Amino acid sequence: MAGQLRFDGRVVLITGAGNGIGRDYALAFAERGASVVVNDLGGSFTGEGASSRPADLVVEEIKAKGGKAVANYDSVEDGAKVVQTALDHFGRIDVVINNAGILRDKSFARISDTDWDLIHRVHLRGSFMVTRAAWEHMKKQKFGRIIMTTSSSGIYGNFGQANYSAAKLGLLGLANTLRWEGRKYNIAVNTIAPQAGSRMTATVLPEEVLKMLNPNYIAPLVMYLCHESCQENGGLFEVGGGWIAKLRWQRTQGAMVGRPDKAMTPEDVRDNWAEVIDFSQTTVPKSGADSMQAIMANMQRVGIPTVRRTDTAGKTTSRDVEAALKHTPEPTLFTYDHRDVILYALGAGVSTRDPDHLKFLFELSEDFCTLPTYGVISAFNSSGGAFRGNSGLNIDFTKVLHGEQYLELYKPMPTKATLKNQAKIVDILDKGSGMLILVDVTTRDEQGDLVAYNQFSTFVVGAGGYNGKRVSDKAKNTVPAPKRAPDASVQQKTSIDQAALYRLSGDYNPLHLDPTFAAMGGFNKPILHGLCSFGIAARHVLKTYANNDVTKFKAIKVRFAKPVIPGQTLQTDMWKEGSRVHLQVKVVETGDIALNGAYVDLVEGSGSAPQAGQVSTGSTLPSEAVFGQMGQQLTPDLVKKVNAIFLWNITKDKKQAAQWTVDLKTGSGSVYKGTPKQGKPDTTITMSDEDFVALVSGKLNGQTAFFQGKLKITGNMMLMTKLEGLFKGQAQQPTGPALLSDPVFAELGRRLPTAGPAVQKIKAVFLWNITKDKKQAAQWTIDLKTGSGSVYKGTPKQGKPDTTVTIADQDFVDLVTGKLNGQTAFFQGKLKIAGNLMLMTKLDGLFKDQASKL
């Protein structure tokens, strides 16, 4: 069993804590280490009068037992004052227990306005005011626990308590909404319906029952619900006399009384009443989305048609198809400027963390340009015109799926323009389970020149089976990816707000934002726009193979395979064959393929190799070895002293060649290739590879480099001075040509967490002696025994190696990339092994898996 539930360091505010259940809460929380705010106005149970004595007595009792407490005498309607007491005395607020209440019991006919209003002001408005005052503080600290107090009268009703019942059920509704709004901030809101003896219940319960309903049996439930270890949220609990039970809504299967072909009457309701109220089979709805989903499911069950039926067999006919193909909508104009271009770039995942983000996000940049995939935005609304007013089709848009997309540019998209779009259905295919509609949209500028061509492939579920044609020579077909490991891969975590941002570029389908509408489509959460993933993937290809040169982009084709949830990570795998880059987009968290059969065509001669940042077995940058050494020099004192993240943009021949992060803020510090894994850099430095090596080795003065323009710094410039200790440690390091094996070892270490269970089961430590010109040049440890495994420069940090391997720098690179066979190298004397020889065979899986990637 786990240990005692403690509340040390937590601040608990309890309203109505001067007597009864509230007093019991206060004493119990204080005994478990909490600092307690005892709020009580000190009035009568009917809400009259005031006194500080009840709260003072409870505080005195807590302090006498060694606890911490402070009294507050404000009305709960002054919620801000109540919460301020907690902040003034204890500096924070963690738990709010809305317990204060009064009674004014009268039959409904005899309730006065005062009786009604006062009950609601204390119970419902009071709980609202106190909770609202604490809410922002809880959000900022990413923790909060809130208890609402309803009653059996609120849940079931009770004679003579109409005012009280209405207020108490209102508290449950308040809690039900707050649980959704607070969960992302780790704020849990639960509701209890206690049965315990108190001043109020004494008016409605016999004395014998009151003796058995001791408040001591209520507090333990409340304390558990308020503990940080409890993840219950949105629950409703009845509790009393040692008994606890959770309540939930229950619903019958119901009856579909209405039909689309006739008016619904009261007699229809009467005739189906037995089925409406039949609880022999039930469901348990948990949200408004569940409610709407049931309605939509029943509407679909009665067969609401999705495609216009015209013949006696109820099927689409060739004449319908002919009519649809003849329909030519009026052309539409699309006007945009730099603001729209920038908004789209943000929606497609461009970030200020990207080194060349200014060309897509800053209209005054000399390189400012439009992402190529903005070409689909200009055509998007026009494509719908092919359906509107089309006599051959009557589409149910709840069953329409965007199946595929093709975009081709004839010139780069301008940064501002008025474009004319002409849409046309060019073919309709019968796919059996549905109908595939191909819509072409041509886009021209004001001079009449062709700018872009789009083909939208729209699939209508359930509209097939009419013996129509199945293939079309007008379709832009997908192409499967090569059956080999990808040549390059890029990962990008989408923002939880990605869909909310992308929709501002024109696709306002509520499926991507409204949970209720998403549930109607069968999704647990709103999904990301497929065209957003389309734009992100195109960016990855453009960056990897065209250095973000938009003039190199020609066309893109994708199939939308699986949905993406905002916040998930997308991995774009790429295979280059000539001027075509095949691609596939995978959701890292689930392994689902989001986009497949996809490709990007580049202008001939573009992208001969992946950009810098991919590991290469050719010549390496001297800075890579220096960064590797820097990672070994980090100390806890340095991390504590600097407390900052640095991003280094390393250039070669005036072009960006690599990015490195020196993280002296997270954990014990780290140095790794790429942009920061967490947060934004405090300081970004741009300099050439040669100048960087000269800087850290002491051959180039930092101030001199800065004023000569060799060292460019954005962000906090003063933080650079704190790196002096790290640079001094490098001054004695050799600055000659880097070993080819250094970046390969670094990349192996980065990929180790995803290397698979077979590698993680090896449980051994390997020491690699790397030689150059027959002399030892470096030592690297591959530790697959400690923790989740690691790769680092030097000898093992713990214990002795199980296997020691000696190999030349070039031979090692050839070995891990598959160019050199291990057995051949061993018998030729190129690979020398000491220790457990058989363990080397177990590394084969790691090397084979990484060969093409490295």
The set of catalytic residues is 164
Question: In terms of Cα–Cα distance, which of 152, 136, 159 is closest to 83?
Answer: 136
Cα(595)–Cα(572) distance, integer angstroms: 9
User: DSSP character for 550?
Assistant: G
Pairing relationship of beta strands 400-409 and 450-461 according to DSSP bridges = antiparallel
What 635-639 contacts at long range (C-beta under 8 Å, 24+ apart), as own/partner pairs, is: 636/668, 636/669, 638/664, 638/669, 638/725, 638/726, 639/664, 639/665, 639/668, 639/669
Written in H, E and C, the secondary structure of 465-510 is CCCCCCCCCCCCCCCCCCCCCCCEEEEEECCCCHHHHHHHHCCCCH
Instruction: Note the Cα 314 to chain centre separation in Å.
Output: 45
Is 765 strand, coil or helix? strand
Task: List the structure tokens of 408.
Answer: 């081709």
Alpha helical stretches, state H, 570-710: 622-633, 636-642, 689-696, 702-707
C-alpha dihedral (542, 547, 552, 553), degrees to nearest 10: 10
Q: Is 610 in contact with 658 (CB distance < 8 Å)?
A: no
Q: Which of the 8 DSSP states describes residue 311?
A: S
Determine how β-strand 11-14 pairs with β-strand 803-808.
unpaired
Residue 431 and residue 412: Cα distance in Å, rounded? 35
Tokens of 18: 């001067």
> Which CA distances in Å does 512 have to 158, 293, 400, 501?
44, 16, 15, 10
Please report where in the chains the tokens 């009770």 appear, as a residue. Answer: 158
Distance (Å, whole) CA 200 – CA 152: 14
CB 850 within 8 A of CB 813: no
**Closest to 547 (Cα-Cα) out of 363, 358, 408, 356:** 356
426 and 439 Cβ atoms separated by less than 8 Å? yes
Strands (E), 54-107: 68-72, 95-98
**Residue 616: its H or E element:** none
Nearest CA-CA partner of 657 in 626, 683, 624, 682: 624
The rounded distance, in Å, linking the Cα atoms of 20 and 215 is 7
Q: Give the amino acid at 497.
A: D
SS3 sequence of 260-296: CCECCCHHHHHHCHHHHCCCCCEECCCCHHHHHHHHH
Kind and range of the H or E element at 427?
strand 417-430
Which neighbouring-strand residues pair with 259? 262
